[in-house]
Amino acid sequence: MLVRPDTFWDFGGFVQYEPITVITDLVVTAVCWWAFIKLKGSPPGQLKNLFRAYFFTMGLATAYGGIIGHGFIVQLGFVWKMPGWYISMFSVALLERAAIFHAQPLLSENTGRWFARLNLVELFSLCAIVAYTQNFFFVEAHAAYGMLVVVLSLEFYVYRKTTSRGSRQLLLAVGVAALAATVHLLELGIHRWFNHLDLSHLLMAWGAWHFYKGAATILQENPIPLRKP
């Protein structure tokens, strides 16, 4: 159900809702697309492609979510929020896949294959649930699973088994992302003109920067450096 936002700018009858939320969403977009461009110079390979695809799609999701999902959603209608949700879910799945691919040299062939298949099953399953329920909770559930179960566990495993500074940076990034999610879920806003959405978006931008630092370091480290005995 769509609730009309209580913050807006009115330009002579042209109304744009939740302007600060739009701006902070675009801050996340800017960091993600900056990371996408910066990683272009990293060593080539599938891992690089996965990280760059993650940053591009997450930037696209936050741009769409800000402009369409917040700025003009009253004029367009609730259903227009959903393409942004799907893009963000696909983006998180790409980050999961990057973590799986990064950890693969330390996993058995069967374990790596199992994680890769589960990555697709949970993505399509949650997308179907979102289509049926039209509930953002399941988008958040997918993000929590992807970040806290897949990325966190695999990168922690890699960090424990190796000297990967990139994994350590990704663990920090997941922590910042979890903080952003907590702010969003608990609605810890400062003011109606700088609410929980705006604060969580700035934390997401900070987290995206850490994800970039982790990805860049991992791509320079690749193949995974083994821990010295």
Q: What is the pLDDT of residue 88?
A: 97
Q: How many CB atoms lie within 10 A of CB 27?
A: 18
Reduce the DSSP state of residue 14 to 3 states and report it.
strand
- pLDDT tens digits along 58-71: 999 999 999 999 88
The pair of structure tokens assigned to 223 is 């193949």
Residue 148 has pLDDT above 80, yes or no: yes
Mean pLDDT, residues 69-77: 87
Do the Cβ atoms of 164 and 221 come closer than 8 Å?
A: yes
β-sheet bridge partners, residue 8:
17
For residue 224, name the pLDDT band (cuts at 50, 70, 90): low
Do the Cβ atoms of 219 and 51 come closer than 8 Å?
A: yes
CA atoms of 221 and 155, how far apart (whole Å): 14
Q: What is the pLDDT of residue 228?
A: 46
Q: What is the pLDDT of residue 16?
A: 80
Angle between helices 82-103 and 196-221 (to 10 degrees): 30
CA atoms of 142 and 157, how far apart (whole Å): 21
Q: Residue 59: what residue type?
A: G
For residue 166, name the pLDDT band (cuts at 50, 70, 90): very high
Mean pLDDT, residues 42-54: 94
Do the Cβ atoms of 69 and 80 come closer than 8 Å?
A: yes
β-sheet bridge partners, residue 10:
15
Residue 56 has pLDDT above 50, yes or no: yes
Reduce the DSSP state of residue 49 to 3 states and report it.
helix
What residues have CB less than 8 Å from 181, skipping those under 6 apart?
A: 140, 143, 144, 200
Give me the percent of the chain exceeding a pLDDT of 70. Answer: 93
The dotted CATH code for 8-219 is 1.20.1070
Diameter of the chain by CA atoms?
70
Residue 229 has pLDDT above 90, yes or no: no
CA atoms of 171 and 157, how far apart (whole Å): 11
- C-alpha angle with apex 38: 88 to 32, nearest 5 degrees? 25
Q: What is the pLDDT of residue 57?
A: 98
Mean pLDDT of the chain: 91
The pair of structure tokens assigned to 159 is 């960090």
Do the Cβ atoms of 53 and 94 come closer than 8 Å?
A: yes
- pLDDT tens digits along 176-196: 999 999 999 898 988 888 899
Q: What is the pLDDT of residue 121?
A: 95
Residue showing tokens 């990683």:
39
For residue 21, name the pLDDT band (cuts at 50, 70, 90): very high
The pair of structure tokens assigned to 156 is 């922690």
- pLDDT tens digits along 85-120: 999 999 999 999 999 999 999 999 899 999 999 999
The pair of structure tokens assigned to 101 is 């691919």
Q: What is the pLDDT of residue 122?
A: 94
